[in-house]
Structure 1
């Protein structure tokens, strides 16, 4: 599996609770926080749901 860096670039204020929980599950929560994770189908699905709040780069 490949690794990706996920960075939160937009706030979750005013977003649905489901998107807030997805951001937390990815290990984010504050703007400019970055995590490095393996790109599994589950993680890819989470990224797709909050793609407007995060930026993704391959490592």
Structure 2
């Protein structure tokens, strides 16, 4: 009997490159509501001019919208 190799019926998935955003804190959150400061920290922005690369999804976009007057956003 001849043996044949079975191949999987599903094709292999090619890793899709996820869009990323570079968010930079350009204005101090001092003097703004406490929740805006907490949002900046949640985005990984602890000091002035600090940057963080984050995935481009609705949760991150919502946090950016909340502090849009404090940050600069670039698509990577």
Tell me which interval the TM-score lies in, with the shorter structure as reference length.
Answer: over 0.9
Structure 2 gaps of 5+ residues are 1-17
Q: Which has more radius of gyration?
A: 2
Would you tell me which structure has more strand in proportion to its own residues?
1
Structure 1 gaps of 5+ residues are none
Which structure exhibits the higher relative contact order, with contacts defined as CA atoms closer than 8 Å and separated by 6 or more residues? 1
The TM-score normalised by the length of structure 2 is 0.75
Would you tell me which structure has more helix in proportion to its own residues?
1
Q: CA RMSD in A?
A: 0.7
Divergent runs of 4+, >6 A: none
